[in-house]
Structures are given as structure tokens and as C-alpha cells.
């Protein structure tokens, strides 16, 4: 089952179970996916109907998690703990649709493998390594943390 189908099924389940928070979050996800598909259609040529693949959906979900983490941090700093907790609840719902995150050892092994596969030898090759990692591990690792790790290994 592809990601969009899983999200739609989750949306229907949340409606039936009257889970308002889950329903609201899944509607936000669905709207973000539709927005991205509309943007793809605008970029496509006449007669083409592009669809968003699972990698694109994972990228959207990852971006949504990151936005909510930043919002939760800002709410905490501002003393709005109830809003921070609401953001964290949305993160948990979104993460239900993301693949299992890699742990630190798995990330280190993936970085080493990507460096070997791309033949990277200097910091100039960092872009190639990051592209290889993003192609294989989108949604499964935080690339904000992986970037410095790749940089250290290539320095």
C-alpha cells in the first residue's frame, strides 16, 4: 500500500472513531500532499498528470515534523506549554506514517557505505554523498544531523 493510500485509510478510520486531533492532523497532511501535486501539475507539460511518489510524501512528512519541532521549541521558550504539547501530539501522529528512524550506529554505517559507493575523498564530494543518502534514506534519518557527520568523515 502506498503512502497516500495509507494516509487516506487513516483519515477514514479517524473519522469513524471520532478522533478529532488525529483527523485534523491527517487532513493537514492530505492538504500538503494535494498542494504539492498541484504544484507538480503546474510545472508539467500539457497532457501530463504527474503524481507524487512515496519519496515525495516522505519528504513532506519529514518537513512537517521538523516544522512542528521548531514550533514546539518556540512555544516552550514562550511559556506556552499547552501549545507545545499540541505540536508534539501532531508529531507523534505524523511519525506513525514515517518509516522507522535509523539509530546512530545505523546512520554511521549508512554514511560510511555512501562515502565508499560514491568514491568521496574530500569535502568537495559532500554533495554526492548527501544525494546518495537522501535517495536511499529519505524520511529515515535527520539530514541536519547527518550533514556534520559526513563533513567530519570527509575532512
Exposure string of 20-41, with b = 16+ CB inside 10 Å and e = fewer, is eebbebbeebeeebeeebeeee
CA neighbours closer than 13 Å in the CB half-sphere of residue 154: 24
37 and 22 Cβ atoms separated by less than 8 Å? no
Domains of the chain by range and CATH? 3-95 (1.10.1510.10), 104-154 (1.10.10.410)
- Give pTM, 2 decimals: 0.74
Look at residue 151 and give its three-state secondary structure: helix
Amino acid 47: pLDDT: 67
Structure confidence by residue, pLDDT tens digits, 67-121: 999 999 999 999 999 999 999 999 999 999 988 888 888 898 999 899 888 888 8
Give helix 104-118 / helix 143-154 axis angle, nearest 10°: 50
Amino acid at each position: 500500500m502506498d503512502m497516500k493510500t495509507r494516509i487516506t485509510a487513516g483519515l477514514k478510520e479517524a473519522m469513524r472513531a471520532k478522533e478529532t486531533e488525529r483527523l485534523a492532523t491527517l487532513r493537514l497532511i492530505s492538504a500538503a500532499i494535494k498542494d504539492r501535486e498541484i504544484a507538480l501539475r503546474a510545472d508539467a507539460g500539457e497532457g501530463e498528470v504527474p503524481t507524487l511518489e512515496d519519496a515525495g510524501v516522505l519528504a513532506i512528512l519529514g518537513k512537517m515534523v521538523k516544522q512542528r519541532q521548531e514550533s514546539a521549541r518556540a512555544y516552550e521558550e514562550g511559556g506556552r506549554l499547552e501549545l507545545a504539547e499540541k505540536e508534539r501530539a501532531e508529531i507523534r501522529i505524523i511519525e506513525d506514517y514515517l518509516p522507522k528512524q535509523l539509530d546512530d550506529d545505523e546512520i554511521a554505517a549508512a554514511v560510511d557505505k555512501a562515502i565508499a559507493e560514491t568514491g568521496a575523498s574530500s569535502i568537495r564530494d559532500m554533495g554526492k554523498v548527501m544525494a546518495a543518502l537522501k535517495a536511499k534514506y529519505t524520511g529515515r534519518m535527520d539530514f541536519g544531523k547527518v550533514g556534520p557527520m559526513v563533513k567530519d568523515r570527509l575532512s
